Chains A and B, each alone.
Chain A
Amino acid sequence: MSTVLRRRLTVLAFIGPALAGLVVFFVYPLLAAVYFSLHRVDLINPPEWVGLANWRFLFHDLNVRHAAGNTLWFVVVMVPARIVGAIATAMLLNRVKRGRTAYRTLFYLPALAPPVVATLAFVSLLKPGTGPVNTLLAKVGIEGPLWFNSPDWAKPALVLLALWGIGDLMIIFVAALLDVPVELYEAASLDGAGAWQRFRNVTLPSISPVVLFAAVTGVIATLQYFTQAAVAASVASGDAVTGGGISGTFGYPEGSTFTYPLWLYTVGFRNGLLGYSSVLAVVLFVVAIAVTLVLLRRFQAFAGSVR
């Protein structure tokens, strides 16, 4: 056997399983999603060609507009809130000298909590009548909102839940902030720059690749926002009939927590419209890939920052 061939076979042995995975779990389902989006698909019958009918329905579907609107709300509010919160806690952490490790562990811990656990904790923490948060607010004379039971407050409550879990982002920013050259701060101080100006002109430009990275991955994560919204709705709605997959409570209250992935799941696996569900999947893919391209275009900056 020639050495070139042997060499290629070795590479194939190392990367082969991953390549097969790329084809079976990525390329095939992507192409199949496009194919299914042009068919009527269910679990029993073979796919039946319907042309662009599923795609046309997209423009008449009021639910998708509503769900996409909610997801957009989460992207616009949750992603920046998490980034600002993470930078602020990271800066505090880098200033504190004594006990830094203990604080870091404490701040990070909630990020580990399983999403279902975290959501259950927040629903019981924010119970309108007897929850500790509203009890505390009542003591200082404030009437607390209905949180997960109010269409206006359910989304902000989910943002609080997301802020509770900023530990992972915080650790990234702790590392990024330590990489900012100290001389730059010294030079800025000599020039008479105040704390805000130092942050604006030294810190922010230095950590901007990490901010970009956090924004892109944050948007991607928020586009798939599913578990917390599903669980909060199901638990807060109380004793409505809920089972793992047969919950009728998605979006409670009044559809305020109904996200795009929840609608995709409902259409496909509750209503059995797998063809139309594939339309929603293709749209989600196009949006996600557009966001990812932003990251890849800046890949040099990003790869440099994480080394």
Chain B
Amino acid sequence: MTAHGRTRALIFVAEHSLAIALSAMFLAPIVFLLLTSFMSNEQQLTADPWPRTWHPENYLDVFARTPMLSYTLNTVIYAVAATGLMLLASVPAAYALSKLKWRGRNAIFIAIICVMMLPPQVVTVPLYLMWASAGLTGSLWPLILPMLAGDAFSIFLLRQFLVTIPDDYVDAARVDGCGEWRTLLRVVVPIARPGIAAAAMFQFFYCWNDYYGPLLYTSENEKAWTLSLGLASFRSLHHVDWNLATAATMLTLIPVVVLFFFAQKAFVRGVTLTGVKG
């Protein structure tokens, strides 16, 4: 081996050692959760990281001993309904901001960026009072209904995607006599499918992971709790041990990971396009 070749081999080994060490660090917390979730009640109190006996029944016990099923159903309803409504309103809005020309377009776009940047706590008090006077606190409606107006971050993401579609495509459809709605549905939506998929995934994950929203609106009514809210008060409220708590934690994590693997490309594309996470 030449000296040059040896240096390159050394660099290769160094880079991969570093990458493997980092991978281990990124994975370790999840592996630790997984192992704990299979432990017995006695073992989860010890420092022994590997299960002495395996207890997959923890994953069933957690449903029997806590309202895990209700948390899951609420989370699915919240995430699916919010994502569906968000798309219905956000896709046309993004189309108007990228493919239609009208006065005030830039001003509205900047306003949407401002909303996107706004910490949710700023508008919490007036919105809470608004939903309370409508009698909807104690449910997930205050988190789902606003999606009828779309979501600022999603509009931004979709708009960034739609501007990359050449105007020629849209103009050609118009020349063929398509109205704007037909142009959107027949021409733009099929091309923008990866962008729409990314926006939908971001919204779904945002709802799935949301803690502040459900805490604010549903903490008074455990029947409406989501997984995030339920998990956070699991041990104290239902007196379950770490092994069951970690089993529930894994159950919350798994759908996210599965969905990610199915749509990884769209997701990575979305992150680079906007430079922000939801």
Contacts and interface: CB of A to CB of B under 8 A. Distances in A.
Given A14-B180, A114-B208, A33 B122 contact: yes
B273 interface: yes
A285 B140 CA distance: 25
A171 B231 contact: no
Chain A residues touching B, majority SS: helix
A261 B225 CA distance: 21
A244 B224 CA distance: 11
B260 A112 contact: yes
B116 to A, nearest CB: 9
A22 B33 contact: no
A226 B210 CA distance: 11
B184 to A, nearest CB: 8
A121 B111 contact: no
A289 B275 contact: no
A214 B96 CA distance: 28
Chain B interface bracket (under 10, 10 to 19, 20 to 34, 35 or more): 35 or more
A120 B205 contact: no
A63 interface: no
A51 interface: no
A175 B273 CA distance: 10
Nearest to A113: B253
Contacts of B256: 112-114
Interface string A92-108: 11011011000111111
A220 B119 contact: yes
A95 B155 CA distance: 35
Contact of A112 (B113, B119, B130, B257): B257
A117 B97 CA distance: 37
B203 interface: no
Nearest to B250: A117
Contacts of A256: none
B2 interface: no
Given A21-B150, A274-B125, A284-B119, A116 B112 contact: no
The size bracket of the interface on A is 35 or more
Contacts of B218: 244
A261 B121 contact: yes
B102 interface: yes
Interface stretch (A185-193, A197-205, A264-272): A264-272
A181 interface: no
A295 B228 CA distance: 32
Contacts of A296: 110, 113
A277 interface: yes
A19 interface: yes
A278 B264 contact: no
Given A26-B115, A106-B26, A224-B121, A172 B149 contact: no
A245 B220 contact: yes
A117 B36 CA distance: 14
B69 interface: no
B93 A18 contact: yes
A110 to B, nearest CB: 5
Contacts of B120: 224
B90 interface: yes
Contacts of B273: 306
Nearest to A18: B93
Interface string B184-199: 1000000000000000
B95 A14 contact: yes
Given A164-B26, A244-B222, A33 B92 contact: no
Interface of B: 15-16, 18-19, 22-23, 26-30, 32-33, 36, 45-47, 49, 89-90, 92-93, 95-97, 100, 102, 108, 110-115, 117-130, 132, 146, 148-150, 155, 160, 164, 179-180, 184, 205, 208-209, 211-212, 214-216, 218-220, 222, 225, 227-233, 235-237, 242, 245-246, 249, 252-253, 256-257, 260, 264, 268, 271-277
26 contacts: A8-B102, A15-B108, A17-B148, A17-B150, A18-B108, A22-B149, A30-B122, A30-B123, A92-B22, A103-B23, A113-B256, A114-B211, A120-B33, A121-B30, A124-B242, A130-B45, A135-B49, A168-B277, A172-B275, A214-B275, A230-B232, A234-B232, A243-B233, A261-B119, A264-B124, A291-B117
Given A115-B209, A132-B28, 11 more contacts: A15-B97, A106-B27, A112-B257, A130-B46, A242-B236, A246-B219, A274-B129, A284-B122, A285-B122, A288-B119, A291-B117
Which 4 pairs from chain A and chain B are nearest by CB?
Answer: A21-B149, A245-B219, A32-B126, A29-B123
Interface of A: 8, 10-11, 13-15, 17-22, 24-26, 28-30, 32-33, 36, 41, 43, 89, 92-93, 95-96, 98-99, 103-118, 120-122, 124-125, 129-132, 135, 164, 167-168, 171-172, 174-175, 210, 213-214, 217, 220, 223-224, 226-227, 230-231, 234-235, 239-247, 261, 264-265, 268-269, 274, 277-278, 281-282, 284-285, 288-289, 291-292, 295-296, 302, 305-307
